[in-house]
Chain A
């Protein structure tokens, strides 16, 4: 029960940070979205073995985290949720691509291993960039901006609804699980024999609760159609943010900094 409650808190922990007032928080949502998008595209565009060239890209999340005063524990904690999927996906590279890429102290390192760590590192960079975007931009501003960028309304609304109702579902599950455990003689968790009725009840209760939440939304003017907030003008500081977060990384993508450095010295 406490675990489930803490999961609900975890889900919304990052969003609570978005109400901050740092220089990054104050930037226009458009530049934050574009900056994160450009960064992710650049990270993904590298070849699977260009591990060293990707190294400087770690500065983006590190600097943003410092400037926005985002606690790294929260970001890394949520980042860890993606790891199992990436490890499973990346492990196949180690198995199938065994050609030697280089040797370290007589030990051959395969292209598959390099590729595995490259996938791991790139996932870390991309997921962290998205988590930071959420941590420094209020959810309503984010979805408003997505609509302004002509992302289909149905996708944005779906995204909003899933986001809102996941808390409702977990909350109902948590309450039911507590009631179940308090009357369970063995205290060993949910038994298979009760799983069907538990899940069925959870569905019905969540549906009922979702109806009440929707009624409350309707009472405050929600009609299914998205309403946009007032258009916010881009300030010089927004352009500066965009330039500072995009240009260095575009340059690092176009120019092999290590090779240039080698040639110079």
Chain B
């Protein structure tokens, strides 16, 4: 479970990216973060794993509050999948990338190998194990990026624009994978039909604040609400 209390994130130039957000993500819940560009979706995700410093407020995962001391444990509990998989895949081979997390957490080579094989197998990309990310398609890169996080066996997953760079087939494959994963998921996206299919709850963000919280099937069809947030409603 992720609990966010009165979270505010202000950038050094004074821009308030996240403004007094309070939110609880229950175990196994899939939540879509929706908002126009600059609404604070990515900033909120980055703050949850301590990449962006919190200006005020608290964040906790499974009862563990985010602080300098707990940063490493929090990042093990909450896995972040970045918007651009190229940012996440930087090792010569996919196997090394997927093993990067477990190795950093000091797991033995045997356990690391078990987790790597398990994650690749679960996502159906075992054949990519000894390939370079430079030669993969967008969909394959996305799956490999998810595998790099799954090997840390987190209890929650954060996705930043997971359908970016994907063709319809890869997008469909991703939907299947996300539905299969048992972890809590927070998915920042502009893709409303994707969010509607995958998530049971949507949080609409506007200028860093929560503007609405509810069922995506209802929210995404509320023309006025969506228009207020600068997003086109599903007709």
Measured CB to CB, the residues of A under 8 A from B are 5, 8-9, 12-13, 15-16, 18-20, 138-140, 164, 167-168, 171, 209, 212-213, 215-223, 227-230, 232
Residue of B nearest to A229 (CB): B109
Q: Is the CB of A219 within 8 A of B51?
A: yes
* Nearest Cβ on chain A to B51's Cβ, whole angstroms: 5
User: What's the minimum C-beta distance from A258 to chain B, rounded to whole angstroms?
Assistant: 42
| CB–CB A220/B132 < 8 A | no
Q: Which residue of A lies closest to B82 (CB)?
A: A216
Q: Are A220 and B148 in contact, CB atoms less than 8 angstroms apart?
A: yes
CB distance from A22 to the nearest CB of B (A): 13
Q: Which of A9, A15, A171 has the most CB of B within 10 A?
A: A15
Of residues B46, B101, B108, B130, which shows the largest number of chain A Cβ atoms within 10 Å of its Cβ? B130
Where the two chains meet, the residues of B that have a C-beta atom closer than 8 Å to any C-beta of A are: 46, 49, 51, 72, 75-76, 79-80, 82, 84, 86-88, 90-93, 95-96, 99-101, 103-106, 108-110, 112, 129-132, 134-135, 148-149, 152
Q: Which of B79, B96, B106 has a CB less than 8 Å from the CB of A227?
A: B106
A217, A219, A232: the one contacting B90 at CB < 8 Å is: A217
* Contact, CB under 8 Å: A19 / B152: no
Across the A-B interface, give the 8 residue pairs with the lowest CB-CB distance, nearest first: A221-B104, A19-B130, A15-B92, A230-B108, A220-B101, A212-B87, A216-B88, A219-B80
Inside 8 A of A140's CB, which chain B residues have their CB?
Answer: 91, 96, 99, 103
Closest to A5 in B: B134
Point out which of B99, B100, B131 has the most chain A C-beta atoms below 10 A from its C-beta: B100
A9 touches B135 (CB 8 A): yes
Shortest CB–CB separation between residue B157 and chain A, in angstroms?
A: 11
Using Cβ atoms and an 8 Å threshold, which residues of chain B touch A8?
134
Task: Specify the chain B residue showing the minimal Cβ separation from A221.
Answer: B104
**Knowing A12-B132, A212-B82 touch, does A221 contact B90 (C-beta < 8 A)?**
no
With A216-B87, A219-B149 known, 18 other A-B pairs at CB within 8 A are A8-B134, A9-B135, A12-B132, A15-B93, A15-B132, A16-B92, A16-B93, A18-B93, A138-B96, A139-B91, A164-B90, A212-B84, A219-B51, A221-B75, A222-B100, A223-B72, A229-B108, A232-B109
Q: How far is the CA of A9 from the CA of B93 in the complex (A)?
A: 12
Closest A residue to B51 by beta carbon equals A215
| B92 nearest in chain A by CB position | A15
Q: Do A217 and B100 have beta carbons less than 8 Å apart?
A: yes
A219 near B75: Cβ-Cβ < 8 Å:
yes
Q: Contact: B109 with A9, CB < 8 Å? A: no
- Residues of the A chain whose Cβ atoms lie less than 8 Å from the Cβ of B96: 138-140
Interface centre among A139, A213, A221 (most CB of B within 10 A): A221
